[in-house]
């Protein structure tokens, strides 16, 4: 909601005669962009209500009758209830741990000068270049050797390890941009190193923190390969595995699959909406200006 | 003296947790994989040391070069497609307009969407007989432009690239939006009062101020593109006739379908060092030392 | 946001500790029950999968001292998982395997337990010819649960009648006539979904090549007595080229998967669909008028050296045992296999429209389409290419056939490449 005050400022800012044309153009571009982006989701939701027979005959239009059973059968046959709670637990734990230890590390890498700084940073960046499928067999053997196969926390470790690099990369580049004098004044006030991190650097990094939280959540929520090879117990599996189970060797139950995918999208969109405002809210008043 | 020691302790304590987890669960497995690249191994029988034979075989395999070539296309399309489009949309969205939040959210949706849905819907759009694109072309009388987009090896890579670009624009969009919050409104306001057009303020103030973020995005793009797997795996699985094969897919098939663990690991070594060289070069070119 | 973060984080962490504690207790319980894990790909809610699962349930109910634990893995990811665990020497006690070339590496890696001691149990029910699909070097490694005929022609009776054919053509020459007549009527002749690249090989070439070369060709070519550059074999590859040239297939064949192509046939967008016996169930479930759908064998080819009564087919649904099983577990697993591969299960599969290796009475309620398909298997089975070729050769021919349809490769070139690959071994 915009206040009238804001609106008046806005009008002042764009007071030239080109204004309506330009604004229309912006809207046209944005609406095309939105349509192209929304189409697959709409298609998914619409088809999640179609019976198998109707899906076979009509993939474009609206269903003749809405089949709610897809949702029920998807939920039951794929054991989605259990998988949802497993996924939420693993996802949240891994995401918050990654961002927490990633943020601390980034803080030291970006705000301190020490001998191995560059080396450590570069070393972390290497992690962004590792193709995940190359590590499946070694990771399986490693987890077997340390007895971490098939436990509720198994997946948390590789998830943290594989997403720390991108987290540190984004956070470090963001934190580096802060002016040098912030800490100086804080140190004058007698703040400790970790205190500065917690009450100054972290709040200032909100947009970047929100970005990496969202990124981590998406990666972990959709992660398939590690979940496939490291977990056997059906009660410990995560959602992506359940969603793959609608496809057989020669047949696929598309209706149930689309219903499952639609349901699995809800938490991730909720998480995004929860954090998105942090990305665009801007910096806390007066913390950094110029 | 005392203060420096405290600082050292703090740094050590702060960095150690990340370093330990990263070392054990990311570096160790990939080193193991590098080690396999020197072996001949089918995953069942005993390993055999073969030195650099896997790499020699790799460099003589036209399918490997084909996947590398396609992968370079993915990198180019991502860097030259995703980044500018995302930046453009981010700039459009970084203002007070109605429906802003909705556009932003919709813009991000493809990133969270399952690759299965993306693959099915885009395949429907590209379908040669009743797909949206060909229907559109036929309606406006441009029948001769209608193609078998995914089914013809001349067009399949282009079709896949468009979808790849589309999929990740939203990711860079939020990264840019976050960065744009760092551009102080006063500076832009001042420029506007001085009579600078929006085009000019964008070029000479906004873009330079988020230049570092643009480099970050480019690096993410390169590293992500060289590992790209999921979408192409479900959409074409490298086909038709290897025309959309990329390195990670080639590695996966060699490892798990052809049971050549050593050979597959050799491909992953190449992916790793190729990304490293590419990122190093690009950051040099763009004027910032990230590595 | 910070408060929220702390809150979520700490609850998640506590939950983790609790969940951890919970799982540790589990392992100590149940010491006198023999637990056997069984890996399979029965994730989908389909009649045949339900038949398999109900057999396991029943076994568990009847045997208090043995517990078979089902772990289902989606089919497309099954091999990735199995191979990863095999590389880590952590194969489950029992797991579903595919026959021929696909169990070969497992056998070579000594991962499988031979079942020679118990095969006498099936000597009266399962013909030897089918049994041997799961044998390597004279050792039996699994019991067939079903037969996949890979080459059947499903056709729309109304549409071929429109093209002037009252019965389905028996020779390739007549089939070409039908294709031409259908094209003239603007009907797509054959619905093909070759995105996953195996159909042209498994469904088409397995039987077409057999018609040309005879069934001895494939083993001989593989062991070096014959060659893939065999003229008859090259001719069978040219059939694919010719079918593409006379526009027998839908234009988007390389972008559709098998199931989509089948759906197009079911919904009346094409006159024919070439597929294996796996398609019978789905076609019967979704077709609006079953009476309108017929099944035919592949046509005969002039000059072919093979037996035109044969159809490519291979055993399926086998379960292999881990070679590391203890004496006790081994006996329990044997007991399970004997219970599982019984007439009761074959009967259930029959009702789910699955062709089974055992010869059973069929009631009248069995649909006509299924009965006809079942009859075709009596003419003898020809080897299925991807169940016989090495993974490298399979990959080569799969991609090669696709290249042929795209005009990027000639049949001769493909044959030459296959021979080179085979000699390189």
Which positions 51-80 of A are in contact with C (Cβ < 8 Å)? 52-53, 55-57, 73, 77-78
List of chains touching A (3+ CB pairs within 8 A): B, C
Which residues from chain C sit within 8 angstroms of residue B129, using beta carbons?
Answer: 250-252
pLDDT more than 70, % of chain C: 92
Q: Does residue B106 belong to any structural domain of this protein?
A: yes
Q: Identify the pLDDT of residue B264.
A: 93
Q: Identify the pLDDT of residue C31.
A: 62
Please compute the mean of the pLDDT values over residues C257-275 and round it to a whole number.
92
Tell me the domain boundaries of chain A: 4-69, 70-281
Q: Identify the pLDDT of residue C28.
A: 41
Task: For residue range A11-21, list pLDDT tens digits in order.
Answer: 444 444 455 78
C60 and C45 part of one domain:
yes
CA distance C364 to C371: 10
Asked if C74 lies within 8 A of A245 by C-beta distance, the reply is yes
C136 and C153 part of one domain:
no
Task: For residue range C384-402, list pLDDT tens digits in order.
Answer: 999 999 888 999 999 999 9
Q: Please tell me the total count of domains within chain C.
A: 2
Q: How many CA atoms does the CB half-sphere of C225 hold within 13 Å?
A: 6
* Strand partners of residue C136: C139
Q: Identify the pLDDT of residue C24.
A: 40
Mean pLDDT of chain C: 89
Angle between helical axes of B28-36 and B261-285 (0-180°, round to 10): 120
Contact residues for B162 (Cβ-Cβ < 8 A; gap 6+)? none
- Smallest Cα distance from C20 to chain A, Å: 6
C328 and C412 part of one domain:
no
Weakest mean pLDDT among A88-97, B5-14, B32-41, C25-34: C25-34
Asked if C87 lies within 8 A of A156 by C-beta distance, the reply is no
Please compute the mean of the pLDDT values over residues B248-268 and round it to a whole number.
92
Given a cut of 90, whether residue B25 has pLDDT beyond it is yes
Task: For residue range C214-242, list pLDDT tens digits in order.
Answer: 999 999 999 999 999 999 999 999 999 99
Q: Identify the pLDDT of residue A4.
A: 45
Q: Identify the pLDDT of residue C425.
A: 53
A256 touches chain C (CB under 8 A): yes
Question: What's the domain range around B116?
Answer: 61-285
Q: Does residue C298 belong to any structural domain of this protein?
A: yes
Q: Does residue B41 belong to any structural domain of this protein?
A: no
Please compute the mean of the pLDDT values over residues C116-134 and round it to a whole number.
90
Total Cβ atoms within 10 A of residue A103: 24
- For chain A, residues with pLDDT lower than 70 are 1-19, 281-290
Match 């019984």 to its residue by tokens.
Answer: C342
Q: Does residue B56 belong to any structural domain of this protein?
A: no
Q: Does residue C292 belong to any structural domain of this protein?
A: yes
CATH assignment, A70-281 = 1.10.3720.10
ipTM: 0.89
Asked if A253 lies within 8 A of C45 by C-beta distance, the reply is yes
Which residues from chain A sit within 8 angstroms of residue C45, using beta carbons?
Answer: 73, 77, 253, 256
Task: For residue range B137-159, list pLDDT tens digits in order.
Answer: 988 888 888 888 999 989 999 99
Asked if C286 lies within 8 A of A52 by C-beta distance, the reply is yes
Q: Please tell me the total count of domains within chain B.
A: 1
Asked if C79 lies within 8 A of B256 by C-beta distance, the reply is yes
Q: For residue A199, is it left (φ>0), alpha (ψ between -120 and 50) or beta?
A: alpha
Task: For residue range B195-204, list pLDDT tens digits in order.
Answer: 888 888 888 8
The vertex-A199 CA angle with A193 and A202, nearest 5°, equals 95
Q: Identify the pLDDT of residue A66.
A: 84
Given a cut of 80, whether residue C12 has pLDDT beyond it is no
Contact residues for C80 (Cβ-Cβ < 8 A; gap 6+)? A136, A225, A228, A229, B256
Please compute the mean of the pLDDT values over residues C116-133 and round it to a whole number.
90
Asked if B229 lies within 8 A of A162 by C-beta distance, the reply is no
For the domain that residue C265 is a member of, what is the CATH number?
Answer: 3.40.190.10
C366 touches chain B (CB under 8 A): no
Q: Does residue B259 belong to any structural domain of this protein?
A: yes
Q: Does residue C187 belong to any structural domain of this protein?
A: yes
C271 and C320 part of one domain:
no
| CA C19 from centroid of its chain's CA atoms | 40
Q: Identify the pLDDT of residue C15.
A: 44
Q: Are C337 and C118 in contact (CB under 8 A)?
A: yes
Closest-CA residue to C383 (of C221, C155, C192, C145)? C221
- Smallest Cα distance from C196 to chain B, Å: 8
Q: Does residue B31 belong to any structural domain of this protein?
A: no
Q: Does residue B33 belong to any structural domain of this protein?
A: no
CA distance B167 to B89: 14
Asked if B239 lies within 8 A of C399 by C-beta distance, the reply is yes
Which residues from chain A sit within 8 angstroms of residue B124, using beta carbons?
Answer: 43, 59-60
Q: Does residue C383 belong to any structural domain of this protein?
A: yes
Question: What's the domain range around C294?
Answer: 149-313+376-424
Is the pLDDT higher at A251 or at C264? C264
CA distance A284 to C199: 60
Q: Does residue B229 belong to any structural domain of this protein?
A: yes
Residue A269 is nearest to which of B11, B112, B216, comparing CB atoms? B112
Q: Does residue C380 belong to any structural domain of this protein?
A: yes
Q: Identify the pLDDT of residue A282.
A: 53
For the domain that residue B168 is a member of, what is the CATH number?
Answer: 1.10.3720.10
Asked if B268 lies within 8 A of A44 by C-beta distance, the reply is no
C242 and C383 part of one domain:
yes
Asked if A207 lies within 8 A of B181 by C-beta distance, the reply is yes
């Amino acid at each position: 909601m915009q206040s009238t005050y804001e609106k008046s400022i806005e009008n002042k800012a764009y007071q030239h005669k080109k204004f309506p044309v330009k604004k229309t153009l912006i809207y046209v571009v944005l609406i095309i962009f939105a349509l192209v982006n929304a189409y697959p989701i709409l298609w998914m939701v619409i088809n999640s209500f179609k019976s198998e027979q109707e899906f076979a005959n009509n993939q474009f239009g609206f269903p003749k009758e809405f089949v709610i059973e897809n949702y029920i059968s998807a939920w039951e046959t794929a054991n989605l209830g259990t998988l949802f709670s497993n996924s939420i637990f693993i996802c949240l734990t891994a995401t918050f741990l990654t961002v927490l230890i990633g943020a601390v590390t980034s803080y030291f890498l970006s705000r301190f000068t020490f001998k191995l700084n560059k080396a450590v940073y570069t070393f972390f960046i290497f992690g962004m270049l590792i193709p995940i499928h190359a590590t499946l067999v070694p990771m399986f053997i490693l987890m077997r050797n340390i007895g971490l196969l098939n436990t509720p926390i198994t997946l948390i470790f590789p998830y943290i390890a594989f997403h720390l690099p991108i987290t540190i990369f984004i956070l470090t580049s963001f934190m580096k941009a802060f002016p040098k004098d912030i800490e100086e004044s804080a140190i004058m006030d007698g703040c400790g190193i970790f205190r500065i991190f917690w009450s100054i650097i972290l709040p200032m990094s909100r947009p970047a923190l929100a970005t990496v939280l969202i990124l981590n959540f998406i990666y972990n929520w959709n992660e398939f390969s590690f979940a496939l090879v490291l977990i056997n117990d059906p009660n410990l599996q995560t959602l992506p595995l359940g969603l793959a189970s609608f496809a057989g060797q020669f047949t696929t139950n598309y209706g149930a699959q689309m219903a499952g995918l639609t349901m699995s999208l809800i938490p991730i969109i909720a998480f995004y909406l929860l954090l998105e405002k942090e990305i665009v809210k801007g910096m806390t008043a007066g913390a950094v200006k110029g | 003296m005392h203060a420096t020691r405290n600082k050292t302790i703090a740094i050590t304590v702060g960095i150690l947790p990340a370093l330990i987890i990263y070392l054990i669960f990311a570096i160790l497995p990939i080193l193991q994989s590098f080690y396999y690249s020197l072996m001949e191994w089918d995953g069942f029988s005993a390993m055999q040391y073969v030195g650099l034979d896997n790499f020699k075989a790799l460099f003589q395999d036209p399918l490997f070069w084909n996947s590398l070539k396609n992968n370079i296309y993915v990198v180019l399309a991502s860097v030259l497609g995703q980044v500018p489009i995302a930046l453009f949309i981010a700039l459009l969205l970084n203002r007070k307009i109605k429906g802003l939040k909705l556009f932003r959210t919709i813009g991000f949706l493809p990133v969270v969407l399952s690759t299965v849905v993306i693959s099915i819907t885009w395949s429907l759009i590209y379908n040669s007989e009743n797909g949206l694109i060909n229907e559109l072309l036929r309606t406006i009388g441009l029948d001769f432009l209608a193609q078998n987009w995914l089914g013809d090896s001349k067009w399949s890579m282009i079709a896949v690239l468009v979808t790849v670009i589309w999929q990740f624009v939203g990711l860079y969009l939020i990264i840019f939006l976050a960065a744009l919050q760092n551009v102080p409104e006063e500076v832009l306001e001042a420029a506007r009062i001085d009579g600078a057009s929006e085009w000019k303020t964008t070029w000479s103030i906004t873009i330079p101020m988020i230049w570092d973020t643009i480099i970050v995005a480019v690096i993410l793009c390169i590293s992500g593109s060289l590992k790209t797997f999921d979408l192409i795996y479900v959409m074409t699985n490298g086909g038709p006739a290897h025309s959309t094969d990329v390195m990670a897919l080639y590695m996966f098939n060699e490892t798990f379908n052809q049971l050549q663990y050593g050979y597959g690991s050799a491909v992953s070594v190449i992916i790793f060092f190729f990304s490293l060289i590419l990122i190093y070069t690009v950051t040099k070119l763009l004027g910032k030392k990230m590595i | 946001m910070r408060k929220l973060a702390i809150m979520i984080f700490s609850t998640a962490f506590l939950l983790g500790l609790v969940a951890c504690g919970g799982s540790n207790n589990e392992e100590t319980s149940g010491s006198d029950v023999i637990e056997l894990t069984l890996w399979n790909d029965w994730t989908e809610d389909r009649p045949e999968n339900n038949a398999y699962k109900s057999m396991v349930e029943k076994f568990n109910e009847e045997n208090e001292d043995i517990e078979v634990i089902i772990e289902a893995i989606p089919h497309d990811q099954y091999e990735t998982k199995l191979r990863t665990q095999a590389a880590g020497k952590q194969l489950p006690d029992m797991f579903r395997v595919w026959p021929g070339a696909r169990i070969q590496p497992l056998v070579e890696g000594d991962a499988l337990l031979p079942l020679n001691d118990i095969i006498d149990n099936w000597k009266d029910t399962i013909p030897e010819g089918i049994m041997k699909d799961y044998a390597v070097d004279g050792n039996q490694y699994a019991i067939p649960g079903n037969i996949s005929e890979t080459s059947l022609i499903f056709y729309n009776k109304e549409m071929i009648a429109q093209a002037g054919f009252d019965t389905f053509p028996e020779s390739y020459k007549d089939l070409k006539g039908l294709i031409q007549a259908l094209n003239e009527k603007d009907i797509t002749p054959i619905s093909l979904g070759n995105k996953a690249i195996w159909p042209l090989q498994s469904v088409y070439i397995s039987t077409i090549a057999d018609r040309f070369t005879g069934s001895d060709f494939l083993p001989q070519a593989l062991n070096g007595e014959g060659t893939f550059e065999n003229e008859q074999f090259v001719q069978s590859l040219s059939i694919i080229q010719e079918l593409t040239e006379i526009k027998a297939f839908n234009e988007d064949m390389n972008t559709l998967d098998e199931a989509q192509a089948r759906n197009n046939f079911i919904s009346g967008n094409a006159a024919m669909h070439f597929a294996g016996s796996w398609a019978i169930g789905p076609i019967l479930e979704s077709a609006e008028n079953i009476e309108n759908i017929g099944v035919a064998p592949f046509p005969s080819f002039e000059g072919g050296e093979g037996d035109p009564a044969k159809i490519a087919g291979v055993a399926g649904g086998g379960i292999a045992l881990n070679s590391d099983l203890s004496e006790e577990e081994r006996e329990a697993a044997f007991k399970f296999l004997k219970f599982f591969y019984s007439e009761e299960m074959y009967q259930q599969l029959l009702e789910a429209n699955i062709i089974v290796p055992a010869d059973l009475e069929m009631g009248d309620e069995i649909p006509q389409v299924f009965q006809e398909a079942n009859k075709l298997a009596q003419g003898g089975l020809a080897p299925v290419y991807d169940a016989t070729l090495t993974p490298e050769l399979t990959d080569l021919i799969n991609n090669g056939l696709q290249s042929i349809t795209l005009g990027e490769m000639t049949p001769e070139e493909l044959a030459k490449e296959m021979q080179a690959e085979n000699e390189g071994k």
